[in-house]
């Protein structure tokens, strides 16, 4: 079984377990970018609390752009790393204003995928994962986001070579997978990545990918 076939089998098994992921309510692209920066190294709940606090304190992105940095830090504190994320958010908004004259990312829609990705990753604090989330979730473009679960699991399952870097994993998985499954496969593989820690989740049903996994019957795959 080659990697493409294996990916298809994994996708089908995860579909049986977790189902098709329906598109969550769209955030507009700027909101998606800000939300994704907030999500870095944080869980979803803390990200959402921080995002709501920011929106409540500053109802428009112009206000966020022009606010004193300390007030942004204060608003987003629940997401952690506030002193890192506040300048990243404000820096992105300021660059948008300077380059586009408007606080919108809509111009990315007209750029080839590679150029759109390059523009996003040229922002401080936006790496391949954050760029791919914005492109896939906000624009529906064929970018596959690789977070730590996906990186770990896709190497363990042999979808990509074991030494593949996170950045390289984006390229390889995008070649491997048909774009129409990016969205569901991304979310289902993360769900699987969380569930595979059976030692921590005794209620978890047996792993649907056990026969594809080099760790076989072991209870705690890395």
Tokens 């300077």 belong to: 98
- Least distance in angstroms from the C-beta of 118 to DNA: 12
Residues 108, 15: Cα–Cα separation, whole Å: 31
Q: 180 and 154 in contact (C-beta within 8 Å)?
A: no
The stretches of 126-165 forming alpha helices (DSSP H) are: 128-133, 148-156
Among 200, 218, 219, 222, binds DNA (CB under 7 A): 200
Which one of the spans 4-12, 61-69, 77-85, 111-119 is the region binding DNA (CB under 7 A)?
A: 77-85
Q: Which residues of 85-106 are buried (b: 16+ CB within 10 A; e: fewer)?
A: bbbbbbbbbeebbeeeeebebe
- Least distance in angstroms from the C-beta of 165 to DNA: 3
Site for DNA in 156-185 (CB under 7 A): 163-166, 168
- Least distance in angstroms from the C-beta of 14 to DNA: 16
* Residue whose CB is less far from DNA, 1 or 68: 68
Q: Which residues bind DNA (CB under 7 A)?
A: 39-46, 77-84, 121, 123-131, 147-149, 163-166, 168, 190, 193-194, 197, 200
């Amino acid at each position: 079984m080659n990697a493409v076939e294996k990916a298809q089998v994994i996708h089908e098994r995860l579909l049986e377990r977790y189902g098709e992921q329906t598109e969550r309510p769209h955030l507009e692209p700027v909101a998606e970018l800000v939300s994704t920066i907030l999500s870095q190294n944080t869980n979803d709940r803390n990200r959402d609390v921080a995002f709501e606090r920011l929106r409540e304190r500053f109802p428009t992105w112009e206000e966020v752009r022009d606010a004193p940095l300390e007030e942004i830090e204060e608003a987003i504190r629940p997401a952690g790393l506030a002193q890192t994320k506040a300048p990243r958010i404000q820096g992105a908004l300021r660059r948008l204003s300077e380059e586009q004259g408007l606080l919108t990312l809509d111009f990315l829609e007209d750029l080839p995928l590679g150029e759109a990705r390059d523009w996003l990753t040229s922002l401080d604090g936006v790496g391949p994962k954050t760029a791919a989330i914005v492109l896939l979730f906000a624009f529906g473009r064929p970018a596959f986001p690789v977070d730590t679960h996906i990186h770990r699991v896709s190497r363990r399952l042999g979808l990509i070579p074991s030494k593949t870097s996170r950045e390289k994993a984006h390229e390889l998985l995008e070649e491997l997978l048909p774009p129409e499954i990016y969205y569901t496969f991304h979310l289902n593989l993360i769900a699987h990545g969380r569930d595979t820690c059976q030692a921590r989740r005794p209620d978890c049903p047996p792993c649907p990918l056990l026969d594809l996994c080099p760790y076989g019957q072991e209870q705690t795959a890395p």
